[in-house]
Every structure is written in C-alpha cells, then in structure tokens.
Chain A
Amino acid sequence: MTMLEQTPPPAEQPLLDVKDLMQSYTLPRESVFKPAGQVHALNGVTVQVMAGRSLGVVGESGSGKSTFARLVMALEQPSSGSVLLMGSDLHRMPADELRRARRDFQMVFQDPYGSLDPRQTIARIVAEPLTALGRMDRATLRQRVAGVLRQVGLRDADMDKFPHEFSGGQRQRIAIARALITQPKLIVADEPVSALDVSVQAQVLNLLQDLQDQFGLSYILISHDLAVVDYLCDEVAVMYLGRIVEQGRPEDLFAHCAHPYTRALLEAVPRARAGGVRRRRGAQSIASQSTGATGCAYASRCPLADQHCRDTAPALRNVGTAHLAACHHAEAVMALPPVSAEGG
C-alpha cells in the first residue's frame, strides 16, 4: 500500500521528474598544496510534480532551495542527477531544443526591484520569453502583452511605462505576467512574496491562486515561509542542507510533522496574538554545507539525536499516507502535540 503511493499511476507521467539531483560548487583554492574545498549545495533530491499540482519547497539559507530552483530552470548544470520535464531531460537537450522547451516552464524571481531591467519598457520585459522563442510581429506581441497584463490586474497603458514607475507589488505582478506570456505548464516561483509588504503579499498570493485555478498551472513555490506554501501548494518538501528531510501534504506536515527540523521551523514562527509568551529558544549551532560528515546532517541541532543518528544518515521513508520523512525518530516526532497555531 505504501510503496504504491510513491509511484504515479502508470498512465500519468509526472510533469516534472527530478531524480537524485546533486550539485557541488568548488571553492576558490586556499593553498597551492591542498585541493580546493567543495560546497555540497544539493545532496540528492528526488521529487515529482504532477500536472496541475503544486509543490512547495521550504528551507532556510543553506538548504539548497535556490540551487534547486536554478537546476530545475536549467540555468546551471547539475553535478549529477536529472531533471525531466514531460519526459525529456532538460540538461541533456541540445541548446536549441532547450530554448524551445522553455516555453513550458518559466520563473518568477524574489526581488521585484532587481528582476526587471530598469532600462526597458514593461512591454519589452513582459514580451521577452516570446521574443526568445522566435520572431513575432510587433502588433501580435503587444496584443499578447496587453492580454497578460490584464490577467494580472494591470492596465494596457502600463505597457509603455518603466519599472521604476511601479510599486513593489505591481512589479511582482509584471514579473508574473512575464512568466505567463508563453502559457507555460510550470512556473517556478523563488520567494515571490518575501520582498513585499504584508498587505501586498496577500494580493499577489490571491493572484497566483486565481491563475492556478484559471489555467491549471503547476507551481514550484520556494519559500522560507511555511504559511505561503501552505496556502498555495498541494505538497510541501522541507529541505535542510541540500536534502529533503520531510515531504507530504501541508495539512499532514503542519498538523503532525515527522521531522524535528520541520517542528523547529513551525515553532520559530512568531505569532501575532495577545499574551505572546516569550519562548526561550536554545542555542543552535549552524552546520556548514561543506562538511561531509556521516550521519544525519541535523543531528548537531536536534534535541532527539542519539548515537544512531550520528552514525547513520536516515533515508527518506514513508511515515504515513503520502508523507515521507528522513528521521530515525519520525514516529516520536509525530506523536508530539501539534505546534500551537495562531488564534483568531
């Protein structure tokens, strides 16, 4: 029963199939005699996204989530592993084919101020993914741009303005419009609302929700904010130091999480409520990415770690219906009382 949950029904191929993705960066040499150190940004990530469903990737700095985004978008070559979009390996395609394949997957970036070229008009910026695919006459381009701008709640007249004439939230809408224009099947959104004010975040998230309902888009939503992925995603993967440590439906993950790191993330979120008690959090050391230590990567920060954890790295395994966790003590974590949510 449990094994069947992991493999998709034979008729349906996943939209995105990531297998054992690994990425290491070589650090600059510190000495002539010693070999250069390596940073292992991704240590074997395997995950699938079905058409019309969304995956949330949660993690902090050093978790590898941004590297994951860049590899899925084929902006970098992985050290090993594969990324298959509708069956074709993105990293082994000839350049021309990859360029055409980009019609189906687009990206929204975190910084609404940096992701738009300040010297180009909105029309040019939004039309860029189409221009990359081939020549199109100006009138049709402008028509497409106008259409997609309307979809994100902006006006046709905004086409000829420049990015600095818009607020952060509006710029992020422009970025979303740019990602939509080729009618992709998959949008990778890297922290799409982190740089926005709270009231604007809500507007943009509503927009993403509406677009998903309207077009049957799949999202890979990368965020450090659990609530954001909870709102938009059907499945959430929590990453720590380049590995997925827990994966499952948001309601399962947040109601009975199975990994101590997920629990730590949930507990760390400040709650907006009266009578907020000061919770003392213990000192936590940060493990660095480059250590190739054996055993669980989280052991140094984990309150439940024992010798077994330090010796053997836990594999990602089933702990419930469509719920995976990489922890020897997953059942114990699941048995803990749920982390108190915000009231009101």
Chain B
Amino acid sequence: MSTPLSVSAEVGAATARPRLATGFWRRALRHRSFVTGGTLSLLVLCAALLSLVWTPWSAYEIDVASKLRPPSAAHWLGTDVLGRDIVSLLLVGARSTIMVGIIAVGIGLTFGVCLGLIAAARKGWTEELIMRMSDFTFAFPAVLSAIMLAAVAGPGMVTSIIAIGIFQIPTLVRVTRGSANAIWAREFVLAARASGRGGFRITIEHVLPNVLPILIVQATIQFALAILAEAALSYLGLGTQPPQPSWGRMLNDAQTLLFQSPMLAVYPGAAIAVAVLGLNLLGDGLRDLLDPRLARER
C-alpha cells in the first residue's frame, strides 16, 4: 500500500486552519448581542439558583404591618400588599419562571424535534400527517389550551407547563423539518446514501448535528416565549398558584394598586422584560455566531 511519491510531493502541507471550536468563544465574547443577552440570561438564572439557598427575607412570610413599604435598607425594593419582601419574591419567582421555561421547552424540543426529523426523513404521507397535526395544534391559542387543561386538570404549575410545552411543539416541528429538508438535499447526505446508510442513521449522524445550530437558536426564542406565556397564565390565575411566587401573578396583584404603588408593577414587569430580552439577544447572538460561520467556511 505505498503512496505514489509524486502525489504526496504535489500536495504539500495541509494548511492548518484554526478549528471551528476554539475560534467560537473568541468571537462570541466580542459579539454585543451575545454578551448582553448572555449576561442578562445568566442574571436570571443566578437569581433562581440563589433563591434555593438564600433570600433576604422569606418569600412566604406575610407581615401585614409592614405592607407597601418603599425601598429601604431592610427591604431593598420595598414590600408588597401583604408585607412580603419584593426582592425575595422576585428571586423565588425567577425559580418558577426558569423551571417552567426549561421543562416546557424541553417538552417542545423532545417531541417537536423528533416529529420534525421523522417528517423530513419519511416524506410522503407521514410528513403530511405530522405537518397537519402540527398546524392543528398551532391553531389553538396557548392560553385557550391552558384554560381548557386547567378546567380539566385544575390550575397549577404542572398544568401551565404542559400547556405551554404542547404549544411549543408545532413551532419546533416546523423549524426542524424545514432545516432538516435543507440538509437532506445536501450532497454529503447523498454520499451517505450511496455508502448504504439508512434513513435512521443518516438522520442521527448527519441531519441532527447539522440542524443543531438552528435548533439552539430557536430554543432560546422558545424559552423567551415560554416565560411570557407563563407570566400570562399566572396573571390569569391559571399558572403557579399562591403562595408560590410568580412574576405574572405579582403583576396581577399590582394591578389593583396601580395608582397607589405603581412600582409594584414595574418590578415584576422589569424582571420579565429582562429575562425575555436577555434570551432574545442571546438567540440573536448565537444565530450570528453559529449559522453564517458554517456557511462561510470554505
């Protein structure tokens, strides 16, 4: 098995270009959206984690005597109508927010990506069926499905997670199938077929790794949407039930006191905005960093 000497002489040294991975963090840390979004998202995550070990006051302790206090050294953002410390409420509320976000998006990803990949791999009637089912689910507004579910199973965090999760599925089916179709048309998939690999193997080894960047970006967007949905559901009283703190319900509670203590609405509203903005910016940044880079690598 000798190499024709002339051939190796002709090739010359393979010019070692920097690998994709090491360049990524360098560029990522210089990308404005990524850094801003990442910081904000990380902030919310840290708040949630922090709340597991420490909050300035108990988020459940009611102290009517100190209700509606303005910000002070003791209560950094003041207290709500039941005397609960707002900072503590925000911290523990972050926990529900994150949890709902992660689990709901998790449900959406698990089912959505699987169905999307199957639709792209099988085509024909299978694809039609999956897409129409997905359209059908999409047609139901999330809030409506949540209300229906709540009517059946009772309100609560679990109900809202399931409702939001189900609502996430069609978007992810659509995005996955679209990008998977594009990958199936690429020549390296044809090469894999020519090598004798079957649909399942190709999906796992070629299609999935190549749609991952798009899915990661979509996941951050979906996370933001899930947070908004959770806040809306809690606001309506269908999500996290008292005494479990929730940003959405804090907004609802603040509604009646809007003229008296407008700040009570601003704090949870700002928290929601920060979380959603952070995730959207993170998603934007990731999209810039992951997709065009791959397309430009020639």
| A–B in direct contact per CB < 8 Å | yes
Chain A residues in contact with chain B, CB under 8 A? 73, 75, 98-100, 102, 106-107, 109-111, 113-120, 125, 128-129, 131-133, 147, 150-155, 158, 161-162, 164-167, 169-170, 173, 175, 178, 203, 206-207, 210, 214
Asked whether any CB of chain A lies closer than 8 Å to the CB of B148, the reply is: no
- A132-B197 CB under 8 A given contacts A151-B1, A210-B7: yes
Q: How far is the CA of A128 from the CA of B190 in the complex (A)?
A: 12
CB of B122 within 8 Å of the partner chain? no
Contact between chains at B11 and A170 (CB < 8 Å): yes
Q: How far is the CB of B203 from chain A (nearest CB, A)?
A: 13
**B residues within 8 A CB of A151?**
1, 3
In the complex, besides A115-B188, A132-B195, 11 extra interface pairs with C-beta distance below 8 angstroms are A75-B193, A75-B194, A102-B194, A114-B188, A120-B205, A120-B209, A132-B192, A153-B7, A153-B11, A165-B19, A203-B7
Quick check: B196 and A114 within 8 Å, CB to CB? no
Contact for B197 among A106, A128, A155, A173, CB less than 8 A: A128
Question: Given B195, B198, B201, B297, which contacts A129 in the complex, CB threshold below 8 Å?
Answer: B195
A114 partner residues in chain B, CB cutoff 8 A: 186-188
Whether B1 lies near A165 (C-beta < 8 A) is no
**Residues on B with beta carbons closer than 8 Å to the beta carbon of A116:** 188, 191
Are the C-beta atoms of B1 and A147 separated by less than 8 Å? yes
Checking A153, A167, A173 against B15 with a beta-carbon cut-off of 8 angstroms, the contacting residue is A167
Interface string of B139-177 (1 = CB under 8 A from A): 000000000000000000000000000000000000000
Residue of B nearest to A166 (CB): B14
Q: Is the CB of B3 within 8 A of A106?
A: no
* Across the A-B interface, the 9 shortest Cβ-Cβ residue pairs: A164-B297, A114-B187, A153-B7, A132-B196, A102-B196, A129-B195, A99-B196, A117-B188, A115-B187
- A99–B193 Cα gap in the complex (Å)? 10
**Neighbouring B residues of A165 by C-beta, 8 Å:** 14-17, 19
How near does chain B come to A338, taking the closest CB pair, in angstroms? 33
B128 smallest CB distance to A (angstroms): 15
CB neighbours of A131 from chain B (8 A) = 197
- On whether the beta carbons of B8 and A153 are closer than 8 Å, the reply is yes
Q: Are A118 and B297 in contact (CB under 8 A)?
A: yes
Q: Is B137 at the interface (CB under 8 A from chain A)?
A: no
Q: Which residues of A contact B11 (CB under 8 A)?
A: 153-154, 169-170, 173, 203
Residues of B within 8 A of A (CB): 1, 3-4, 6-8, 10-11, 14-17, 19-20, 186-188, 190-198, 201, 205-206, 209-210, 294, 297-298
A-B contact pairs, 12 of them (CB 8 A): A73-B194, A75-B194, A99-B196, A109-B191, A111-B187, A125-B188, A129-B196, A153-B11, A154-B14, A165-B17, A167-B15, A173-B11
**Pick from A75, A155, A162: contact of B20, CB under 8 Å:** A162
A99 to B199 alpha-carbon distance, docked (Å): 13
User: Chain A residues near B190 (CB, 8 Å)?
Assistant: 75, 109, 115
* A153-B195 contact in complex given A114-B188, A161-B14, A162-B20, C-beta closer than 8 Å: no
- Please pick, from A98, A109, A119, A166, the residue contacting B196 in the complex, using a CB distance under 8 A: A98
Q: State how many angstroms separate the Cβ of A138 from the closest Cβ of chain B.
A: 15
Q: Give the residues in chain A near B298, CB-CB below 8 Å.
A: 113, 164
**Closest beta carbon of chain A to B179's beta carbon, Å:** 13
B191 and A115 contact, CB distance less than 8 A: yes
- When C-beta atoms are compared, the residue in chain A nearest to B18 turns out to be A165
The distance in angstroms between the C-alpha atoms of A161 and B206, with both chains bound, is 17
**A99 to B294 CA separation, bound complex (whole angstroms):** 31
* A201 to B175 alpha-carbon distance, docked (Å): 39
State in angstroms the CA–CA spacing of A189 and B229 once bound together: 54
What is the CB-to-nearest-CB distance from B244 to chain A, in angstroms, rounded to a whole number?
Answer: 42
Are B4 and A117 neighbours in the complex by a CB distance under 8 Å? Answer: no
CB-nearest residue of chain A relative to B210?
A119
Which residues of B have CB within 8 Å of A158?
A: 14
> B1 contacts which chain A residues (CB < 8 A)?
147, 150-151
Could you tell me the distance in whole angstroms from the C-beta of B186 to the nearest C-beta in chain A? 6
Which chain A residue lies CB-closest to B206? A117
Chain A residue numbers with a CB within 8 Å of B201 are 132
Of the candidates B10, B19, B20, B198, the one whose C-beta lies within 8 Å of that of A203 is B10
Cβ of B191 and Cβ of A178 under 8 Å apart?
A: yes
> Which residues from chain A contact B197 at a C-beta distance below 8 Å?
128, 131-132
Whole-angstrom CA separation of A169 from B194 in the bound complex: 21
Complex CA distance for A33 and B294, rounded to whole angstroms: 45
B209 contacts A153, CB within 8 Å? no
* Nearest-neighbor residue (CB-CB) of B183 within chain A: A117
Question: B188 near A155 (CB under 8 angstroms)?
Answer: no
**Alpha-carbon separation in the docked complex, A141 to B294 (Å):** 28
The chain B residue sitting closest to A74, CB to CB, is B194
Do residues B191 and A119 form an inter-chain contact, with CB atoms below 8 A?
no
Q: Are A206 and B7 also in contact (CB < 8 A) when A119-B209, A128-B195, A158-B14 are?
A: yes
Residues of B with C-beta under 8 A to A210: 4, 7
Inter-chain contacts of A106 with B (CB < 8 A):
194-195
Expressed in whole angstroms, the minimum distance between the Cβ of B297 and any Cβ of chain A is: 4
A120 CB to nearest chain B CB (Å): 8
Instruction: Report the bound CA distance from A162 to B201 in whole Å.
Output: 20
User: How far is B209's CA from A98's CA once the two chains are assembled, in angstroms?
Assistant: 27
